[in-house]
Amino acid sequence: MNKETPALTDTGAGAAADARTEFWAGARAMTPFMIAAFPMGIVAGAAGVAGGVGWLGTLGMGAAVNSGTAMLAGLQLLRDGSPAPVILLTTLVLSLRMTIYAIMLRPHLRDLPQRWRALLAFGLVDATFFIVIERFGKPVGIRERQWYFLGSATAMFANWISSLVVGMALGSAVPDIAGEGLEFPMTALFIAMMAGALTNWKIWVSVLGAGALALVSHPLPYNLYVVVATLGGAVIGVLCEVAEKRHKKKTETSDTPEAV
Amino acid sequence: MTLTLLIIGMALCAFATRWVPLVLFGDRELPEVVKSALNYVPGAVLAALVFPAVLSPMWAGGDSEWAVPTLAGGVATLVAGRFVKHFLVVTVIGVVVFFLVKHFFG
């Protein structure tokens, strides 16, 4: 694990300034995501009011799930008259990828007290994960990590709630059909990140495999396709690694047959 | 009242999934195979979200006026993303293509 520099563990003025710098750096890193996610929040806010859950219900549900996808799925089910267990199960399944994110972030946050971890877990969303995990790849101390994460999570949460409020205020002025148009920026941002992640052939295969799995399993109930495709893509990646290792071993042994 | 209960239930579902690995089992070491599998999660989860979002409007009977713009915008974003490194620039390119196609062909 990364050792933090002793100077940063001081609780003096320098450390406070450092925490503030990291907090704002984390918040600033979210700018593209806040812009791209805002339209989706507007759609969700408008859908909440139109769906008859009211102002408080919309805000409450938004804060409760802290996710545009889960919120829109929940509202859709509510409007279709789906029973509560179906709505809860859908929320649970859509949040399962957060479990995988949390598992990946865990080693970087091990040194934090439990209440800090609980707080950061609350703010964990897709965008925060992708930015924070990249930052954690560089050698930074736990103090920087915790404040960077908190800044990123706070920015996304504030942005999410603001976009919901704007959506509720606009209400019926946000036409139903605009839904798909306003959700596209978030999709485009995800595609941009996916394009950036394609750094070797194994990731290519894993991404294409996950995409195909998502399309095939799309009809599954409770939005299970997200989990199926994510796990499937990870397994495909591991299989590629195994294949690569085996291939390397084979070429090595055929190069030096007498060494055996 | 039922809505309040439902929202509380949704909050529990949404946060149990985040809390359990980080707070409850925060100190266990993971097996190597799981660690290497996790390297593929970011790409896989993005693919899982993106592929249906881009392609399913087309499959929904083809009557959605958003099918062609979504596909064109999606492909444009992917191509731009291979050449431009800045997320926001790539996203803007994709969204512009999306609305242009919607405007002229939709």
**Residue A1 clears pLDDT 60, i.e. is over it:** no
Whether the Cβ atoms of residue B18 and residue A124 lie closer than 8 Å to each other? yes
pLDDT one-digit tens code per residue, A31-81: 999 999 999 899 899 989 888 888 999 999 999 999 988 999 999 899 888
Distance CA B74, CA B102 (A): 13
Q: Give the residue on B whose Cα is nearest the Cα of A178.
A: B66
Query: Within an 8 Å CB–CB cutoff, is residue B35 touching chain A?
Result: no
pLDDT tier for residue A14 given thresholds of 50, 70 and 90: low
Indicate the average pLDDT of chain A. Answer: 88
Q: What is the pLDDT of residue A3?
A: 43
Whether the Cβ atoms of residue A229 and residue B48 lie closer than 8 Å to each other? yes
Identify the CA nearest to A185 among candidates A13, A19, A39: A39
Q: HEC string of chain B?
A: CHHHHHHHHHHHHHHHHHHHHHHHCCCCCCCHHHHHHHCCHHHHHHHHHHHHHHHHHHHCCCCCCCHHHHHHHHHHHHHHHHHCCCHHHHHHHHHHHHHHHHHHHC
Task: Provide the residue count of chain A.
Answer: 260
The b/e string for A56-84 (b: 16+ C-beta within 10 A; e otherwise) is ebbbbbbbbbbbbbbbbbbbebbeeeeee
pLDDT tier for residue A260 given thresholds of 50, 70 and 90: very low
Q: Do A121 and B44 touch (CB under 8 A)?
A: no
pLDDT one-digit tens code per residue, B39-97: 999 999 999 999 999 998 877 665 677 888 999 999 999 999 999 988 889 999 999 99
Q: Do B88 and A35 touch (CB under 8 A)?
A: yes
- Domains in chain B: how many in total? 1
**Residue B9 clears pLDDT 80, i.e. is over it:** yes
How far A7 CA lies from chain B's nearest CA (Å)? 26
- Calculate mean pLDDT across residues B8-22: 91
Distance CA A152, CA A141 (A): 17
Residues of chain B in contact with residue A81, where contact means CB-CB under 8 angstroms, are: none
Q: Do A88 and B10 touch (CB under 8 A)?
A: yes
> DSSP states of A2-54 as a string?
PPPPHHHH--SHHHHHHHHHHHHHHHHHTHHHHHHHHHHHHHHHHHHHHTT-H
How far A120 CA lies from chain B's nearest CA (Å)? 9
Q: Tokens 């579902």 belong to which residue?
A: B13
Residues of chain B in contact with residue A206, where contact means CB-CB under 8 angstroms, are: 40, 43-44
To test the contact with chain B by mutation, choose from A40, A43, A183, A194 the residue with the greatest count of B C-beta atoms within 10 A, namely A194
- Calculate mean pLDDT across residues A219-231: 93
Distances from the Cα of A236 to the Cα of A171, A226, B43, angstroms: 44, 15, 12
Q: What is the pLDDT of residue A178?
A: 54
Pairs across A and B, CB distance < 8 A: 267
- Calculate mean pLDDT across residues A118-138: 92
pLDDT tier for residue B28 given thresholds of 50, 70 and 90: confident
pLDDT tier for residue A8 given thresholds of 50, 70 and 90: very low
Q: Tokens 């925490």 belong to which residue?
A: A19
State ipTM: 0.90
What is the span of the domain harbouring residue B17?
A: 2-105
**Residue A212 clears pLDDT 60, i.e. is over it:** yes
- % of chain A at pLDDT higher than 70: 89
Q: What is the pLDDT of residue B40?
A: 95
pLDDT one-digit tens code per residue, A197-208: 999 999 999 999
Nearest neighbour of B42 by CB, restricted to A130, A226, A241 = A130
At A93, phi and psi to the nearest 5? -65, -40
Distance CA A207, CA A47 (A): 32
Sorted by where each begins, the domain ranges of chain A are: 6-182, 198-260
Q: What is the pLDDT of residue B71?
A: 93
Residues of chain B in contact with residue A65, where contact means CB-CB under 8 angstroms, are: 10-11, 14
Residues of chain B in contact with residue A53, where contact means CB-CB under 8 angstroms, are: 3
Q: What is the pLDDT of residue A206?
A: 97
How far B50 CA lies from chain A's nearest CA (Å)? 6
Burial class (CB in 10 A: 0-12, 13-18, 19+), A126: buried
Q: Do A195 and B37 touch (CB under 8 A)?
A: no
To test the contact with chain B by mutation, choose from A184, A208, A223 the residue with the greatest count of B C-beta atoms within 10 A, namely A184
Distance CA B97, CA B70 (A): 9
